[in-house]
Amino acid sequence: MIGIVLVSHGPLAEGFKGAAEMIVGPQERFLAIGMDPAADMDRLRAQIEAAVSAVSAGAEAGALVLVDLMGGSPANASAYLAANGTPVLCGVNLSMLLEVLVARASASREELTDIALQSAKEGIINLTQTLAK
């Protein structure tokens, strides 16, 4: 099973984790890290690396890191992992997270990355426009 690490500004990652587990139930190999307003980048990077190690421990599948915002400190702190082969996706949303959690037991990291990207796009819907049809 592929491990999942959520990283965000403030409590957003914990909020996504709580919402996802409300829908699909408690999850193993799933950690959330919320960056404090006065976070030290080296400390944040170390926290992310430790979380990836923790969710990957004993598993050959590795981990996937989902980050809230491209260009923000959580993404910048995750860049080292991305440069070294750990998939890091920016712009996490709940649709993406739910699909990843459901598919991660049977998908490769490459497949899971594709699933995440596709479900994130498909999860954005103009409900007003849809109802007007």
pLDDT in tens, 11-27: 999 999 999 999 999 99
pLDDT in tens, 28-52: 999 999 999 988 999 999 999 999 9
The contacts found for 80-83 with CB under 8 angstroms, 24 or more apart, are: 80/45, 80/49, 81/48, 81/49, 81/52
pLDDT in tens, 83-128: 999 999 999 999 999 999 999 999 999 999 999 999 999 999 999 9
Query: Residue 5: what pLDDT?
Result: 98
Query: Distance between CA atoms of 56 and 48, rounded to whole angstroms?
Result: 12
Query: Residue 18: what pLDDT?
Result: 98
Which domains, and CATH codes, for the chain?
3-132 (3.40.50.510)
